[in-house]
Amino acid sequence: MKKRKLTIKMGMVWLMLICWFLPFLLVAGIMAFYMFGDYFDNKMTAEMDTLSFNSQVCTERLDYAVELSKSATYNGNINRAYELYRKQEMDRYTLLQTCDYQLRTYRHEICVQDAVLWLWDSPDIGKQSTFNESTGGTYRDILTYEEEDHDNVKELARNLGTGTAFYANKDRLYLVRNMVDRSFDEIATLVLRLNTEYCFANLTKLAEKTDVTVQIEDTVFPLKGEMLTWKDVHRGENHGKRGYYWKNNVLGLYDVREGNSCRLTTMLRIQDADSIMPLYGYRFVLFGMLVLLLPLLFLILKLQQKYLTRPIAALMKGAAEIEKGNLGYQMEEIPVTEELMYLTEAFNEMSEQLKYQFDHIYEEEIALRDARIMALQSHINPHFMNNTLEIINWEARMNGDEKVSEMIEALSVLMDATIDRKKQPEVRLSEEMEYVNAYLRILKERLGKRLVVRNELPESIMDCMVPRLILQPIIENAVEHGAIRNGSGTVILKGRREGRYLYLEIYNDGGITKEEEERVQRLLAPGYDTSREPSGNLGIANVNQRLKILYGDSCGLCIQNLGRNQVRTRLTILV
C-alpha cells in the first residue's frame, strides 16, 4: 500500500502546534510542578504552622478566661457570705451585694464581655450581672442572655458539677462554672460571655472567602462564614493533631490544641485556595495565552490558505487536468507571492507548448499514416495486371466481344477501387466484396473449374467498415498457393463479429511448407522492414501493417497451418 504523504497544510499546522503549544505545555508543566511538588507540601506545612500558632494563642486566652472563672471560687468571699446567709447571720441583700462586688472584677478583663451570677436557691430572683463597656458589652447583652440563653445554661450547669463548660448560641459564646461549698453542693453559677474578638482575634481577621469554626471541648462555635464539620477539612482517615485536605480548589486545615483547661480544635476552609498558592492566577495566565494563541493560529491558517494552500491546490488541479488529456489547460487565478506566481506562469506556458507540440506531432503522424497507407494500397501485384491484360488480349482474339466486355468491366472495378477517387480509407464490407467478386471473376476466366470459391460470410456483418482492398491480397495469396500451385483448389470466405472485433477468415487447401511458414512469420513480425523483401512477398505484410496502423496492435493478420493441406488466414478488425 502506498504510504500517504504529509500535506503542506498539515505540516504547517503541526509546526505551529509544536512551536506554540509546546511552550504553553511547558509553562503548564512548571506550574503543575510547583502546585503538586515539594513546593506545595512546603506551602501546606507553612499554612498549618500559621494555623497552629494562631490556635495556640487562642488556647492560651481561653485558659486565661477559665482561670478568671475560677478566681471567684478561690477567692472565697461568696462562699463565706453564703455560709453566713445559711446561718442567718447575713441577710439576702448583703449576700447579693457581695456577689455583685465579686462580678465587678470582670468589668476590666479584656477577655470578658458580660458576666452573670445567680444563686441556686433562687436562680430566677438572685441574679447579679455586669458588662464590660471596653470590650463592647451592653445591658442589652444581659437581656439577650436572660431571654434566649439562661434556660439552656441552667440546664447545662445542673449536671456540670465542679467542672467548666462552654455554651454557644449564634454569635455568643459563654463560659459556665459552678461555685460549690465544702460539701461540693452548688451554691451559685458564674456565666461569662467571652469577648470572641479578643480570644480568637488571629482567626477572625483572615481573608475573605474563608470559613472558620472552633470546637472547645464538645462545643462548636462558628467564628466566620459557614459552620464546618470534620468532613470539610479532613480526608476521612484517623486524624492527628493537625492536617489539611485539598479538593476542587478548596483547602481545608485543622489543628487540635490541648490547653491547661480545655481542648481547642480549629477548622479552617479557604474557598478560593489559589490566592495562597504559588503562582497565584496561573489559570488566568494559561487562559490568556490560549485566548491569544487561537486568533493567531486562525490568522496563520488564513494566510496559509490564501498564499500557499489554495495556489498549490490550483496547480494540482491543473496537473490533474493535463493527466486527463486536457492539454493546454490554463490557470486563471494568479497567486500574489512571487514564487508561486512564477510557477503558475511557467505551468501555463508549458501546458500551451505541450498542446502545440502534441497537435503538431499528431498531424505529422496522421500525414505519415495516410502516406504509408496510400503507399501500401498502391502495391497491387503488377504480374496480376499483366496476366489480366494477356487474358483480355487472348479472349479478344479467340472469342467474341461479350467476355471481353465482362473482363474489362471487372478490371474497371478493380482499377476504380485502387485509384480511390473519394479518398475513403474504409468502406462497408458489402462494397469490399464487390471488389473481391470483380477480382474473382477475372480469376475464374483464367482458372475456370480449377478454382472453387465459397462465400459463407453472414449478411449481418455486411455493414461493418473495413479498409479498402484489404481482402484482395489475401485471396490472391490463397489462390497462388492453392489452386495455381496444385492445379486446382478451393477458397472459402467466413466471418463473424465478437464484441468490438470483426474476424474475416479465408481458408485454402494448398497447404504451406515449413520454409513458407517461417517466411510468413518474418513478414508478420512487428517492425519488420519490408524494403528488403521482393515485391511479390509484400501482400500479406502490407495488409498486416495497414491493420495495425489503423486499429492498433490488437488487430492485424494471422496465417495458421491447420494440417491436412488446410491453411487459414484471419484478419482482425476493430469495428
pLDDT band of 498, cuts 50, 70, 90 = very high
pLDDT digits (tens, 9 = 90+) for 367-407: 556 655 655 555 544 456 556 656 665 666 566 666 665 66
Which of the given ranges, 193-197, 228-232, 516-520, has the highest pLDDT on average?
A: 193-197
Residue 376 to residue 425: CA distance in whole angstroms: 12
Quote the pLDDT of residue 406. Answer: 64
Quote the pLDDT of residue 182. Answer: 76
pLDDT digits (tens, 9 = 90+) for 446-458: 788 888 889 999 9
Q: Among 113-117, 281-285, 297-301, 437-441, name the one with the lowest average pLDDT.
A: 281-285
Percent of the chain whose predicted confidence (pLDDT) is above 90: 22
pLDDT band of 256, cuts 50, 70, 90 = very high
pLDDT at 224 exceeding the cut of 80? yes
pTM of the complete model: 0.48
16 within 8 A of 297, measured Cβ to Cβ: yes
What mean pLDDT is predicted for residues 519-528? 77
pLDDT at 519 exceeding the cut of 60? yes
Phi, psi (rounded to 5 degrees) for 267: -120, 130
pLDDT at 552 exceeding the cut of 80? yes
What mean pLDDT is predicted for residues 176-190? 84
pLDDT digits (tens, 9 = 90+) for 53-83: 999 999 999 999 999 888 777 777 787 888 8
What mean pLDDT is predicted for residues 494-511? 90
pLDDT band of 86, cuts 50, 70, 90 = confident
Q: What is the DSSP string of 240-292?
A: -SEEEEEETTEEEEEEEEE-SS-EEEEEEEESSGGGGSSSTTHHHHHHHHHHH
In order of 114, 164, 381, the CA distances from 448 in angstroms are 158, 155, 21
How many Cα atoms occupy the beta-carbon half-sphere of 158 within 13 Å? Answer: 8
Residue 455: its H or E element = strand 451-455
Dihedral of CA atoms 343, 345, 347, 353 in degrees, nearest 10, equals -150
pLDDT at 255 exceeding the cut of 80? yes
Number of neighbours of residue 456 by Cβ within 10 angstroms: 10
Q: Among 152-166, 270-284, 490-504, name the one with the lowest average pLDDT.
A: 270-284
pLDDT at 116 exceeding the cut of 80? yes
Residue 212 to residue 35: CA distance in whole angstroms: 24
